[in-house]
């Protein structure tokens, strides 16, 4: 009982720390993209740099996690939502969760086999395994972000948050149909 109360008491302090500067973040360069990912990692309760070596911002088709050589990279596109910080955080948490799954493959199977298995043809975009991973990482990102903000928002922030969660639910529904 005491531990439960202690954990509940830390939530307001964590919320206050994580929600400073309530307005939407403007991601316009490498540094702001890195700050976005660090904030999403803080919301997720993980150390970004344990799972990612480099953050790139540029003209990419969509946000993504990849490994180039031995460098784990998250790419943030220039067209990321500039008006909805909750959607930004969900996107960033989603990509961090891909990096976390990749790390689990490496730990479970060793570097070479884990890397090969994670990037195997059976897990390519469009496969059932890929759809399953998309559902898992999106749902996890939703829980991580939702747990911090739910019940603490009002007005336009609440509308943006609901819109981000609705978009996320639609994304999950779309990938569940592919499974």
pLDDT tops 50 at residue 105: yes
pTM confidence score: 0.83
What is the C-alpha to C-alpha distance for residues 14 and 1, in angstroms, rounded to an integer?
20
* Residue boundaries of the structural domains of the chain: 25-178
Nearest to 95 by CA among 33, 157, 148: 33
- Mean predicted confidence (pLDDT) in 144-168: 84
Task: Give 134 or 21, the one with higher predicted confidence.
Answer: 134
């Amino acid at each position: 009982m005491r531990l439960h109360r202690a954990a509940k008491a830390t939530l307001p302090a964590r919320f206050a720390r994580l929600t400073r500067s309530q307005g939407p973040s403007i991601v316009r360069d490498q540094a702001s993209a890195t700050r976005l990912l660090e904030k999403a990692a803080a919301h997720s309760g993980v150390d970004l740099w344990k799972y990612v070596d480099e953050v790139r911002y540029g003209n990419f088709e969509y946000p993504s996690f990849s490994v180039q050589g031995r460098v784990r990279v998250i790419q943030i596109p220039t067209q990321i939502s500039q008006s909805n910080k909750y959607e930004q955080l969900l996107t960033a948490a989603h990509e961090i969760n891909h990096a976390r799954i990749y790390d689990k493959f490496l730990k479970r199977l060793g570097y070479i086999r884990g890397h090969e298995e994670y990037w195997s043809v059976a897990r390519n975009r469009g496969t059932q395994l890929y759809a399953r991973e998309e559902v898992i990482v999106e749902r996890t990102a939703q829980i991580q972000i939702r747990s911090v903000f739910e019940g603490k928002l009002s007005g336009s922030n609440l509308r943006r948050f609901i819109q981000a969660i609705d978009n996320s639910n639609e994304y999950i529904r779309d990938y569940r149909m592919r499974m």
